[in-house]
Chain A
Amino acid sequence: MSISSKIVDDFVANDVSFITTVPCKQLAGVIDEVEARPEIFHIPSNKEDEGMGLCAGAFMGGKRPAIIMQNTAIGVTINTLATLTQYYRMPLPMLISYRGELREPVACQVEMAVHTKALLNQMNIPTYHFHKESDADELDAILKYTFMCNKPVAILTDASFWGGYGDQ
C-alpha cells in the first residue's frame, strides 16, 4: 500500500470527512487520494487561512475536518490559528509538507523551514515530525489525540519521508 493511501485510510478510519487542501509537490499523491475517496468531501482552498475558516464551519456542522498544506502557510495562518481555531477551541489536524529540509532543491524554501518549528512552538501547537515512513504509524494516534483535545495539531512531513523529490 502506498504511504498516501495509508495516510488517507487513517483519516477515514478517524471519521475525518471534510478535507481542504492547498497543493505542494510533495503532497500531490495524498491530495489525489483524498480526491478519490467517496468518504471525504474534498474542497481545495485558495489560501490556507480561508481553508481553516472552511474547516471551522464544517466542524460546527458536525464533520471532522483536516487541512493539508505546505509549511510556508504557517506564515499566513498565525492569526487564524490564534483567533479562530484556538480561541474557539476547535480541533484541526494539519498535514503539512515540511519544505526546506534535507534533500530540498529550492533554497528559498529553507527560509521558512528554519522558522516552522519555532512558530508552531510559539503557538503551543502540538507538533509531530514524520521523517521516516514508519513514523506515519503514529498518525492514527495523532488524529485521536487531536479530536480528544480540540486543538490544532501539526504533522510535519519532510522530503525524506516522501522519498525525496525524484529528478530535479
Chain B
Amino acid sequence: MREVGEKKVPKFFLYIFLTFASIISIFPFYWMFVIGSNTNSEVNKIPPALLPGPNFVENMQKVFERIDFFGSLLNSFIISTTITIAVLFFCSLAGFAFAKIDFKYKNFFFIFLLATMMVPPQLGLIPSFMIISALGWVDQLQAVIVPGMVNAFGVFFMRQYIASSIPNDLMEAAKIDGCGNFRIYWNIVVPAIKPAFATLGIITYMNSWNDFLWPLVVLKDKSSHTIQIALRTLNDAYTTDYPMILAGTFLATIPILIVFLIFNKQFIAGITEGAVKS
C-alpha cells in the first residue's frame, strides 16, 4: 500500500498487489465452481479438490429436476430490475432534495431517515407479514417489490454524492435561467451523477437478487419463488448435497455478473466524460 506513494516504486508492484487482492476475492467464487463440478466424495478428499471436475452438467441436471430454475430466475429478474429502476429514480430525487433544496425540518427528516436504517429487521417479519397479508399480496411479486422501491441507504448515498459533486454555483445559474427544481434535477443533476447511478444500481440489483429473508416469508408458492428461495429448497432436511447446491448457486450468479458488466460499462463511460467541473 505504501507502494502508491513512493514515486520510485515501479507500477509493477501495484499490479502485484491488485492481482493478489483479486485472487483472494475471486477464489471462493472459483471454488464454488470446483465443488459444483465435482461429486461429494471428490470434495471430501484431503487435500481437497482444487480443479474443476467433470460433473457440472450432471449436478445442474439435478438442480433443474428439483426446482423451476428458469421460472424463478425470471421472477428474480423482474423483482430486481423493477426495484433497481425505482430506487435509482426515487433515491436520487430525494437525495437531491436533501442535498440541494432548503426546506423546513429538513434535518429532522434526514435524521429520521438515518434512524430507520438502525432498526434491526429480524423482528419486523411478523407485523410486516400482517400488512402484506392485509393487502392481499401474499405470493405476489409486489410484496417484495413495493417495500423495496426506495430505501434509506440509497437516499443517504445520493445525498452525500450530490453534496460532494454538484457545485452550488451551477444550481444558482440554472435557477437564474428559470429552471424549476425538477428540470434542474433532470437536466443537470442526473447527467452529472452517472457514476453514482452505476454504483447504486449495481448495489441495489445485487442486494435484491441475493435477498431471501423477506421474500421467503411472503413468496411461498413455487410460481412466485425467487432464485434464492428456490436454491434454498435444494437443501434437504437430513442430508446436504453440496455439489448440487453450489452448481445451482454458481449458475444463478451468472446473471448478476452480466448486470455488473453492463453497469460497469456505464461506470467507465462516466469516468471518461469526467466529472462536472467547477
**Do the two shown chains form a genuine complex with each other?**
no
A-contacting residues of B (Cβ < 8 Å)? Answer: none
